[in-house]
């Protein structure tokens, strides 16, 4: 079972970076302009006038925190390494699946692939190391598998059953 590197790169690196950057710029513009409007007029301002801008500022601060947490977790979970990892950096490992964890919306990322549409992805532990994968499919705990993964981000690009023969390098 193979997974597209470009899909991983887009959903785990590009989209979080673009979303965080866009929202930080938009929030900064809105907050700075709101503060400027509040401070620029010399006349007495009503409580309603001030409250409108304060609520707007608090809304954007809240949304900014939400976006930073939701997309920041994707980057911290391994997506940030995709800025320097290429598909050609993948290494092959053989191991036994010790644990499969189906991710929820907070841990995982919604993937749209031929195998799962949409799915939150899985975290699979192979020989004591946790890896991220769209889905393990029919593989179960105790199966010996051959994986092709990115070493820093721990993202699995390919998973197959190990047939016991020596692997070609």
**Residues 98 and 155 grouped into a single domain:** yes
Where a domain ends, among 83, 104, 138? 83
| DSSP symbol at 80 | G
Q: How many H helices and E strands in the chain?
A: 3, 5
Please state the φ and ψ torsions of residue 131, each to the nearest 5 degrees.
-125, 160
Where a domain ends, among 36, 58, 83? 83
Beta bridge partners of 158: 2, 148
User: pLDDT value at position 109?
Assistant: 55
**Residues 10 and 75 grouped into a single domain:** yes
Reported as a single tens digit per residue, the pLDDT across 15-25 is 889 999 998 89
* In a domain? residue 166: no
Which residues constitute the domain of residue 142?
88-161
Annotate 64-93 with b (16+ C-beta within 10 A) or e (fewer).
beebbeebeebbebbbbbbeebeeeebeeb
User: pLDDT value at position 128?
Assistant: 92
**Residues 70 and 52 grouped into a single domain:** yes
8 A C-beta contact, residue 140 and residue 96 = no
**Residues 69 and 104 grouped into a single domain:** no
**Residues 105 and 140 grouped into a single domain:** yes
* In a domain? residue 169: no
* In a domain? residue 131: yes
Where a domain ends, among 38, 63, 83? 83
Pairing of strands 144-150, 129-133: unpaired
**Residues 72 and 112 grouped into a single domain:** no
Distance CA 59, CA 65 (A): 10
**Residues 55 and 99 grouped into a single domain:** no
| DSSP symbol at 119 | B
**Residues 70 and 135 grouped into a single domain:** no
The CB-side HSE value for 34 (13 A sphere, CA atoms) comes to 19
Report whether the peptide linkage leading into residue 118 is cis, meaning its omega lies within 30 degrees of zero: yes
**Number of domains observed in the structure of the chain:** 2
Beta bridge partners of 123: 101, 132
Divide the 169 residues of the chain into consecutive groups of 10 and give the mean pLDDT of each group.
83 88 88 80 69 82 86 82 89 93 63 59 89 83 92 90 67
User: pLDDT value at position 169?
Assistant: 45
**Residues 104 and 126 grouped into a single domain:** yes
**Residues 60 and 123 grouped into a single domain:** no
* In a domain? residue 116: yes
* In a domain? residue 71: yes
**Residues 46 and 94 grouped into a single domain:** no
**Residues 75 and 15 grouped into a single domain:** yes
Distance CA 21, CA 38 (A): 26
């Amino acid at each position: 079972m193979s997974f597209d590197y470009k899909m991983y790169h887009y959903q785990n690196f590009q989209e979080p970076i673009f979303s965080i950057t866009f929202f930080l710029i938009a929030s900064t513009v809105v907050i700075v302009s709101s503060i400027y409007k509040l401070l620029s007029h010399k006349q007495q301002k009503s409580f309603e006038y001030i409250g409108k801008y304060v609520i707007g500022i608090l809304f954007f601060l809240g949304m900014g925190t939400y976006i930073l947490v939701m997309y920041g977790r994707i980057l911290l979970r391994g997506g940030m390494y995709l800025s320097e990892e290429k598909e050609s950096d993948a290494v092959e490992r053989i191991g036994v699946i010790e644990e499969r964890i189906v991710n929820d919306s907070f841990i995982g990322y919604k993937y749209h692939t031929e195998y799962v549409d949409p799915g939150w992805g899985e975290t699979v532990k192979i020989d004591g190391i946790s890896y991220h994968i769209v889905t393990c499919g029919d593989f179960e705990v105790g199966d010996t598998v051959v994986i092709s993964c990115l070493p820093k981000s721990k993202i699995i690009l390919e998973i197959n059953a190990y047939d016991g023969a020596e692997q070609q390098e």
